[in-house]
Amino acid sequence: MSLRIPLQNEQFVTLFSIYAPTLQAEPADKEKFYSDLRSFLHSTPTEDKIFILGDFNARVGRDSDTWKGALGKHGIGNCNDNGRLLLELCAEQQLVITNTIFQQKDSLKTTWMHPRSKHWHLIDYIVTRQSDLKDVLHTRVMPSAECHTDHRLVRCKLNLQFKPKPRKGGPPKRKISVGSLQSSEIKASFQANLQTRIEGSSYSIDSSPEVFWEQLKTTIQQSFEEVLGYTSKKNRDWFDENNAEIQTLLAKKRSALQAHLAQPLCPEKKAAFRTACSILQRELRVIQNKWWTDLAQKTQVCADDTGDYAGFYAALKSVYGPTYQVQSPLRSTDGETLLTDKASILNRWSEHFRSLFSANRIVQDTALNRIPQQSMKTELDEVLSLQETCKAIEEIGKAGGVDGIPAEIYKNKGEKSDCSNYRGITLLSIAGKVLARILLNRLVTTIAEEHLPESQCGFRSNRGTTDMVFALRQLQEKCRE
């Protein structure tokens, strides 16, 4: 019997429950059994994790040197004909018998007692792929379990680990080499190039804002492609394939390996290969330790000495690596069904925001009349100045905006499966952020100061939440005193 269990992100585990012919069975029956099992294994997707459980009626013994990879070092007893058939299958299909991997008492490994000799034997196994052996935490026999059979129960603890699937969507977006703008020569060259392109282009003032922006955006992109260029991918790991020292060590190991493969029975070639492997591992460990030490010193300098938080978080990212976002399931409109597939989740988000922003709300005239009327704010209609624009550019963040950012990014608060616990955000480009910052600065100085309460510290000059936290801590300390 086979059971294919679906897990998250379209990943599966396939379990096989088998009962193999006994030792006294006809050879044709044994051959047919293992032939059918091979067919089932070949028909199973290669991405699935496979576990074969059952009574193989086979003794595999303890010769782990002959059956490397298929048999562990903690087998028991001697091998019989059925055991050789099982070991041949494991060696051919790259399988491993997990019962022989862990060192434990014989009473926790043997599963069946011979009725005449009264000797205990290991004939019930849990087999998996050698590449998935890291998922097996422990395999042992439960002697006290009563299963109404003369076989003992075998238990296997697993911690399934799946590799994240590669992202789809074409080649990754290239990043502009903005760091080169720190050079005054490159900055002047970029400004001159951009000025020349703008003066040489024919911009129509009567055109729509969308057309005008597309022309300006194209001009800017052409300028930074020509002057600045794009950043090249940097290997931030300790292993650098361009390191001459590492390449020399790897070349020596490869040459020793080729010599050993040419004469596998020669003890001198084998010893030379092992020596080359030891030297390579020792030198690579020195390089790795030096990389970690330098990274720790860099992180310490960025965090405490210079206050370079960008460099600090870049160092942390090189240590922990990239993060992978997992799509959280959502509840349906009635709250009864849990949606897990991507299409249903996107449809649910579309339905949620459509009902949130498209609702018809009726406001009574009495409520509108109670709103105090303000005088005309003529300063909001003034033309943008260069000083105002430069100030807004300095205040905005450095995130690029909508380009390359998935639409599933939300600020969360509460249960993840409830759409009402999320707050949608607007993703703007840099030009949009500059305009939004200019509008915000004008609104704060002209309107907000008259209506914001005294407790509001965000988006106000000479105020901040840091002051609020400081005042609260002072109150706590005084209260304790």
Residue 428 has what pLDDT?
75
Residue 158 has what pLDDT?
93
In the chain, the amino acid numbered 128 is: T
What share of the chain has pLDDT > 70, as a percent?
A: 89
Q: Give the phi and the psi of residue 121 in degrees, each rounded to 5.
A: -135, 160
Which residues on adjacent β-strands are paired with residue 18? 54
Q: What average pLDDT does this structure show over 352-368?
A: 84
- Among candidates 392, 428, 431, 426, which has minimal Cα distance to 216? 431
Q: Which two tokens stand for residue 417?
A: 């499966």
CA dist 114 and 408 (Å) reads 61
Residue 456 has what pLDDT?
79
pLDDT tens, position by position, 361-371: 788 889 888 88
- Among candidates 93, 55, 90, 54, which has minimal Cα distance to 72? 90
- CA pseudo-torsion sign 306, 309, 310, 312: positive
In the chain, the amino acid numbered 102 is: F
DSSP assignments along 273-316, one per residue: HHHHHHHHHHHHHHHHHHHHHHHHHHHHIIIIIS--HHHHHHHH
pLDDT at residue 8 tops 50: yes
CA dist 146 and 124 (Å) reads 16
User: Of 111-125, 166-180, 413-427, where does mean pLDDT reach its minimum?
Assistant: 166-180
- CA pseudo-torsion sign 465, 467, 473, 478: negative
Q: In this structure, are residues 132 and 143 in contact, taking their beta carbons and an 8 Å threshold?
A: no
191-198: list long-range contacts, CB under 8 Å, 24+ apart.
Answer: 193/223, 193/226, 193/227, 194/219, 194/220, 194/223, 197/222, 197/223
**Residues with Cβ < 8 Å from 401, sequence gap 6 or more?**
427, 428, 429, 430, 432, 433
Quickly state the pLDDT bin for 403 (edges 50, 70, 90).
very low
pLDDT at residue 99 tops 90: yes
Neighbours of 187 (CB within 10 A): 14
Q: Which two tokens stand for residue 45?
A: 């997707």
Q: In this structure, are residues 87 and 117 in contact, taking their beta carbons and an 8 Å threshold?
A: no
In the chain, the amino acid numbered 97 is: I
The most confident of the ranges 91-100, 221-230, 460-469 is 91-100
Q: In this structure, are residues 380 and 442 in contact, taking their beta carbons and an 8 Å threshold?
A: yes
In the chain, the amino acid numbered 88 is: E
Q: Give the phi and the psi of residue 171 in degrees, each rounded to 5.
A: -65, 150
Q: What average pLDDT does this structure show over 19-24?
A: 93
DSSP assignments along 52-71, one per residue: EEEE----EES-TTTTTTTS
Q: Give the phi and the psi of residue 353 in degrees, each rounded to 5.
A: -75, -30
- CA pseudo-torsion sign 397, 398, 404, 408: negative
- Among candidates 58, 72, 67, 54, which has minimal Cα distance to 16? 54
- Among candidates 158, 129, 137, 136, which has minimal Cα distance to 44? 129
Q: In this structure, are residues 75 and 37 in contact, taking their beta carbons and an 8 Å threshold?
A: no
Q: What is the DSSP letter of 230?
A: B
Neighbours of 99 (CB within 10 A): 28
Taken in order of first residue, the domains within the chain and their CATH numbers are 2-158 (3.60.10.10), 178-227 (no CATH), 245-320 (no CATH), 327-373 (no CATH), 380-480 (no CATH)
In terms of residues, how long is the chain? 481
Q: Which two tokens stand for residue 140?
A: 């042992």
CA dist 34 and 58 (Å) reads 13
Neighbours of 72 (CB within 10 A): 21
Q: What average pLDDT does this structure show over 354-361?
A: 80
Which residues on adjacent β-strands are paired with residue 140? 155
Quickly state the pLDDT bin for 205 (edges 50, 70, 90).
low
95 burial class (0-12, 13-18, 19+ CB within 10 angstroms)? Answer: buried
pLDDT at residue 60 tops 90: yes
Residue 411 has what pLDDT?
43
> pLDDT: is 349 or 328 the higher one?
349
CA dist 96 and 429 (Å) reads 54
Q: What average pLDDT does this structure show over 26-53?
A: 92
Question: How does the average pLDDT of the chain come out, rounded?
Answer: 83
Q: Which two tokens stand for residue 101?
A: 């991997």
- CA pseudo-torsion sign 294, 299, 302, 304: negative
Residue 402 has what pLDDT?
44
Which residues on adjacent β-strands are paired with residue 422? 412
CA dist 101 and 85 (Å) reads 19
Q: Rg of the chain's alpha carbons, rounded to an integer?
A: 34
